[in-house]
Amino acid sequence: MSNQAQSSSGLTRRTLLKAGSAAAGAVALGGCLSSDDGTDSGGADVSKAFSNCWMCSHNCGQEVTVVDGSVVNITGVDGHPRGSAGPGTEGTLCPKGLAQQDKTHDPKRVKEPHIRKDGELQKVSWDEAFEYTADRLVSFADEYGAETFLDATSWAETSIFRTIWRDLYGSPERISRGIHVCAGPTFVTGGMMGVGSNNRVPDYQNSDYIIAWGRNQLNSFAGQFEAKGTLEAIENRGATLVTIDPQHTITAEKSDKWLPIEPRTDGALALAMANVIIEEELYDEDFVENYTYGFDAYREAAADMPPEDAAEITGIPAEDIREVARGFAEAAPRAGISVWTGTAQMGNGWKATQNITALNGLVGNIDRPGGLRLWEYPGTASFGQVCEQDYTNRAEFREPALKKYDEYSDYPVRHIEGIAHNLVPEMVDNGHINGIVVHHDDPLKDGNADEWVEAIEEMALVISIDAYWNGVSRNADIVLPEATSLEKDTLGTGNWSAYPKHKWVTGGKAAVEPQWNTKPDFDILTGIASAMAEKTDNDDWRIFEQWDSHEEFIDDQLSTLDLTLEELSSGEKNYELVEEYDYEKWKDNDNFVFRFDLDQVGSFAQAAEEAGMDTAPEWIPPGTYGDSTSDEYPLEFYDVRSVFFSHGSNQPHERLRDHFAKRNDLNEEDYRGNYLHLNPKDAEPRGIETGDMVQVESESGSGELMAHVTENARPGFVTAEYGFGETSATPDGEGMNTMTLHDKQMDPITGQVDRHIAVDVKPAGGD
């Protein structure tokens, strides 16, 4: 079906759409609208605009149809680097991306700025909100010190968050997604081993052998190109797809082979694969000899893990381990491993990802077609390059509290990271963090929820920049309502994509005016800056005044590519492939070395020693750093993603929640929260049936949600989608905040939240 875009008749796919000019489209839409409301709206004002989707922050291109100021349809952009499978293929939007249409006009959004007066959040004008924010920031700095203000701003359509909170306000404390709550071990080991933090996204389309390792990339993707690229490789190249996952997912369903692994034993499986590959001399000797470091230590660790031993640990038969090891090595270098959160969100995640990443070096699939790609960003201008004004960088020589104070000397993570999500409540108790700004995120569902809820209450200043009411905004002192990406000028500068040899940019101008009294994040931040300039009499805060609008700032960023936002988003598409780059960059890079053993990385060596682990690959059993199941808590819990939601910010959307319920065949129930997926073998003895409300309990917390009994679930292993329940943005808080079960379990090296928790489950209200 690769020819579907070029049907001889010219009828299929977008040609129909493209045939209609905007003006003709107006007539067609007018006609359609008239059938809806009975009035003739033939004269409706119809326009088309582009945006890039930030529902999960991965920039799939969006084409937006607007009638009389409302978004009436939204679809993908053909050939888009993140939203399509590449040149000549359809661009689409996943359910989350489609929901941006609903989000923009959602009456549940925060519609006005609010500040807390007499204990209550009250509506105020933007001017008053900005002035109040500046007042509070100034008095906070006087009383507690700006360095104790935590920047918890997440995905943004503008890059100036860092300039505001770090450079100008002066806080070295920064926590975001990524390393802390997403896939710290994956990102950080990749960097230390020499392949960068993009070691998680292979060159799908060109691959002959794809391993989805703890990933469900056909349903839980970082840009739709992942799902599409995988399907293309299967269809066009006859690629083999192998999924390693305790759960049966749609990716497992489409796989040639699914290895239903015992949770948290991925490190043993990876070592056993290395054992086979080394023993059978299937590895890339030239690459190992000339471009790697520490092979002997790796060889020893692998020798200790014959497939038969790994079979005991992982529950995967030795012959399956051999088959996959051989298949992967023989297809190399056109063999890619896709990893992300699944192998990272566990206490022994560091070694699991180190062992998995090592396999890439072993077979030499580094930066080769179909293997692990060393992705590159386009050369847009940085803030420093386009800023024509000087300012004093106030955070530059300030050390984060975790590194500075003795209180944290027991945490090895302090050698690697400046902060860890789970440690924030403790830092609040110690007075090392006293305030927070949160943007488009809900840290209360990312780890030790109960402690975080208390910490937010304790903090002296809480600023929320968000589109919805959630656990942070409801408890904030200042709430600044943010526009959706369809209401903003946007610029995305990607790296990994459906174009493995091109850097690219994507962007668009606001499709509609900000609805109600909301503002794009750029305008919110520059509003705060101007108020700070007035309040402090410090002209450093005036640096943003050199740009009249976000579009001007974006144009400055694009100037190095000789592009403007207008050029980028007029015409048939809203992306540009800007520079080409080649494979095998390490060949002419004398500094490149792939490290199997990390003993040369001083910070890691120190952290590893304190954590009691080796610097080379090794097998670390589950429970060493996290939970172990017991008689009291015999089930292993893990929280998962679904294609309908991204980090809780889409959960207010009825349409997505309804489809999520349909997907689980539970739409007849009134309940619209998350589900506890469990195997009949665990459900039956407990008297639990699909549709029952159940209580999940761990040593430190509990919660209630609806049971979904399914053979997709591994016996002994129960899962639920995260981001629901208490503190979430769903209007009724339905479902369970999975992190109320959590008690600071983490990977000791990166501080990554470990989401495997020992639990028991019983019918709600029962004994």
Which residue in 596, 656, 605, 584 sits closest to 100, CA to CA?
656
CB of 218 to another protein, least distance (A): 4
State the minimum distance, in angstroms, from the CB of residue 183 to another protein: 22
HEC assignment per residue over 541-602: HHHHHHCCCHHHHHHHHHHHHCCCHHHHHCCCCCEEEEEECCCCHHHHCCCCCEECCCCCCH
Among 128, 116, 121, 76, CA closest to 97: 76
Residue appearing with tokens 């998680």: 200
- 440 touching ligand SF4, by CB under 6 A: no
Q: Does 93 bind ligand SF4 (CB under 6 A)?
A: yes
Of residues 5, 26, 29, 60, which one binds ligand SF4 by CB under 6 A?
60
Residue 334, contacted partner among another protein, ligand SF4, none, CB below 5-8 A by kind: none
Q: Are 212 and 240 in contact (CB under 8 A)?
A: no
Q: What is the dihedral of CA 35, 40, 42, 47, to 10 degrees?
A: -70
Instruction: By CB under 6 A, tell whether 204 contacts ligand SF4.
Output: no
* Residue 35 Cα distances to 29, 31, 40, angstroms: 10, 7, 8
| Single-letter code of the amino acid located at 649 | S
How many angstroms separate the CA atoms of 701 and 158, rounded?
A: 38
Per partner kind, with CB cut-offs from 5 to 8 A, the member of ligand SF4, another protein, none near residue 215 is none
For ligand SF4, the closer CB: 490 or 740:
490
Beta-bridge partners for 337: 211
Q: Judge residue 724's burial from the number of C-beta atoms within 10 Å of its C-beta, 0-12 exposed, 13-18 middle, 19 or more buried.
A: buried
CB 27 → another protein: shortest distance, Å? 7
Pairing relationship of beta strands 757-763 and 635-640 according to DSSP bridges = antiparallel
* Least distance CB 223 / ligand SF4 (angstroms): 5
Looking at the Cβ atoms of 87 and 766, the one nearer to another protein is 87
Tokens (6 digits) for 106: 């959602």
Quick one: 56 or 620, whose CB is closer to ligand SF4? 56
Positions 617 through 646 that interact with ligand SF4 (CB under 6 A): 646
659 contacts which partner out of another protein, ligand SF4, none, CB within 5 to 8 A by kind? Answer: another protein
Comparison of 96 and 503: residue with beta carbon closer to ligand SF4: 96
Question: Which CB atom, from 94 or from 578, has the smaller least distance to ligand SF4?
Answer: 94
3-state secondary structure 154-216: CCCCCCHHHHHHHHHCCCCCECCCCHHHHHHHHHHHHHHHCCCCCCCCECHHHCCEEEEECCC
**Structure tokens, 8:** 């001889």
DSSP class per residue in 304-332: T--HHHHHHHH---HHHHHHHHHHHHHHT
Indicate the helix (H) or strand (E) that contains 529. helix 521-536
Q: Starting at the edge strand that comes first in sequence, how are the strands of the sheet with 61-67 ordered?
A: 46-52, 61-67, 70-76
The span from the CA of 717 to the CA of 266, in Å, is: 15
Stretch of residues binding ligand SF4 (CB under 6 A), selected from 90-98, 108-116, 326-334, 497-505: 90-98
Which is closer to ligand SF4, CB of 83 or CB of 307?
83
Q: How many whole angstroms separate alpha carbon 179 and alpha carbon 747? A: 11
DSSP H or E run through 678: strand 675-678
Q: Is 301 in the site for ligand SF4 (CB under 6 A)?
A: no
Is residue 97 a contact point for ligand SF4 (CB under 6 A)?
Answer: yes
Question: Which of ligand SF4, another protein, none interacts with 55 (beta carbon under 5 to 8 A by kind)?
Answer: ligand SF4
DSSP state of 84: B
Chosen from ligand SF4, another protein, none, partner binding at 58 (C-beta under 5 to 8 Å by type) = ligand SF4
| Residue 29 in contact with ligand SF4, rule: CB under 6 A | no
Q: Return the number of the residue (63 or 521) whose C-beta is nearest another protein.
A: 63
CB of 355 to another protein, least distance (A): 23
Q: Which stretch binds ligand SF4 (CB under 6 A): 53-61, 265-273, 534-542, 718-726?
A: 53-61
Q: Which is nearer to another protein, 109 or 421 (CB)?
A: 109
- Least distance from ligand SF4 to the Cβ atom of residue 512, Å: 18
Beta carbon of residue 241, minimum distance to ligand SF4 (angstroms, whole number): 16
Binder among 26, 33, 49, 53 for ligand SF4 (CB under 6 A):
53
Stretch that binds ligand SF4, among 218-226, 258-266, 296-304, 477-485 (CB under 6 A): 218-226
Q: Which of 732, 736, 731 is nearest to 719 (CA)?
A: 736
Q: Which of 46, 49, 74, 94: binder of ligand SF4 (CB under 6 A)?
A: 94
List the structure tokens of 573: 């598409």
Q: What does 698 bind: ligand SF4, another protein, none (CB cut-off 5 to 8 Å by kind)?
A: none
Degrees to nearest 5, angle at CA 153 with 400 and 540: 75
What is the helix, strand, coil percentage profile of the chain, to 5? Answer: 40, 15, 45
Q: If contact means CB under 5 to 8 A according to the sort of partner, which of another protein, ligand SF4, none does residue 716 touch?
A: none
Residues 645-674 binding ligand SF4 (CB under 6 A) are 646
Output the six-digit token pair for 211.
Answer: 């391993």
Closer to another protein by CB, 201 or 363: give it.
Answer: 201
Whole-number minimum distance, CB 55 to ligand SF4, in Å? Answer: 4
- DSSP structure string for 382-397: PHHHH--S----SSTT
Q: Which is nearer to another protein, 381 or 666 (CB)?
A: 666
Which of 29, 64, 78, 96 touches ligand SF4 (CB under 6 A)?
96
Please say which residue, 594 or 637, places its beta carbon nearer to another protein: 637
Minimum CB–partner distance for residue 759 and another protein (Å): 19
Give the C-alpha separation, 759 to 331, whole Å: 41
Strands 335-338 and 435-439, sheet pairing: unpaired
Residue 227: which of another protein, ligand SF4, none does it interact with, CB under 5 to 8 A by kind? another protein
CB 109 to ligand SF4: min, Å: 18
Q: What part of residues 221-240 is at the interface with ligand SF4 (CB under 6 A)?
A: 221, 223-224
Binding ligand SF4 (rule: CB under 6 A), the pick from 29, 44, 46, 56 is: 56
Residue closer to ligand SF4 (CB basis): 64 or 532: 64
**CA–CA distance, 716 with 636 (Å, rounded to integer):** 6
By beta-carbon proximity to another protein, the closer residue of 3 and 39 is 3
- Contact positions toward ligand SF4, by CB under 6 A? 53, 55-56, 58-60, 83, 93-94, 96-97, 221, 223-224, 646
